[in-house]
Amino acid sequence: MQTITTLAELRHALAQARKEGKRVGLVPTMGYLHEGHLALVQASRTRSDITVVSIFVNPTQFGPNEDLSTYPRDFIRDEQLCRNAGVTIVFAPDTREVYPTTFETFVEPGDLATPLCGAYRPGHFRGVATVVCKLFNMVQPDIAFFGQKDFQQCAVIRRMAVDLNLPVDIVTIPTIRESDGLAMSSRNRYLSDEERRRALTISRGLFAAADKFRSGERDVENLVAAAREQLSSVDRLQYLELVDSHTLKAAESPLQRPAALCVAAYVGSTWLIDNVILSFPAPDGQRSPGS
């Protein structure tokens, strides 16, 4: 495995692979890797010849009062995890490599970036879209992998790739959870034991709603209420919304199209997000899309 910090070295390292017609997979991360990231690496390894993991805590996606300076970092551990997971290249540029002092051009996402996290984190998806677009241009992957936990991020990136004709396939991998259901996140390490127990109500709420949906409930208010009942232990619920999974607009009742129940909440001072997708079973004898 190679660790590379500059764009020049990266281009050099990938040039030969490209000449040999090798397929390049990219797993963009902000480091402090966990099983969720490693599942993305695994998916990349099965679908590409070369897996590049980028590790870059992107300043432009953090608001002024957010956790950029305290965002967990452990590069040595990340490198080891990547080596063990069979990653080909770790690309870990510093801030000036990605954003030289002359930098002034951003990618501005549209309506998909407005609801949910977009309503509480102004500029967040502009920062995400910009850095992901830059990483796509730097690595020029054939395929890139993202986790479903960041549901809105996936929607914004997919749309960006289509709108800007970026020649990369975007693959979303289901959320990886701890054995008790908590969605894996680098921010989980901020939680005390007591907060960790209360954080569990987030996934419990989502699963309660998903169970109701599976039992035939289609009323949006009832589905949201099923989740909300469980969520009393979080310190501040930022949003709990059932949205159309393609447009991210509020889902219409009764549900007739695939929807995502998305939540963001603070437990102590830790901000956590999670979601479940409520998709309709395929008619008998047909495979559902994506199965």
Q: Which residues are catalytic?
A: 37
For residue 82, the SS3 value is helix
Query: Which of 44, 58, 88, 201 touches ligand PAF by CB under 6 A?
Result: 58
Segment 59 to 118, residues that bind ligand PAF, using CB under 6 A:
61
30 near ligand PAF, judged by CB under 6 A: yes
| Touching ligand PAF, residues 139-158 (CB under 6 A) | 150, 153
* Of the residues 131, 133, 144, 264, which one makes contact with ligand PAF according to CB under 6 A: 131
Give yes or no for a contact between 54 and 26, defined as CB atoms under 8 angstroms apart.
yes
- Least separation in angstroms between residue 183's CB and ligand PAF is 13
* CB of 85 or CB of 132, closer to ligand PAF: 132
H and E: helices and strands count for the chain = 9, 9
Amino acid identity at 23: R
Question: 3-class SS at 60?
Answer: helix
Q: How many CB atoms lie within 10 A of CB 133?
A: 18
At position 102, the amino acid (one-letter code) is T
Tell me how far, at minimum, the Cβ of 108 lies from ligand PAF, in Å.
16
Q: Which is nearer to ligand PAF, 153 or 188 (CB)?
A: 153
Shortest CB 80 distance to ligand PAF, Å:
19
**HSE (CB half, 13 Å, CA atoms) of 197?**
2
Residue among 163, 158, 201, 161 at smallest CA distance from 182: 201
136: Cβ contacts below 8 Å, ≥ 6 apart: 26, 144, 161, 166, 168
CB-wise, 33 or 251, nearer to ligand PAF?
33
Of the candidate residues 29, 130, 172, 230, the single one contacting ligand PAF (CB under 6 A):
29
* Rounded least distance, CB 29 to ligand PAF, Å: 5
Residues that bind ligand PAF (CB under 6 A): 28-30, 58, 61, 128, 131-132, 150, 153
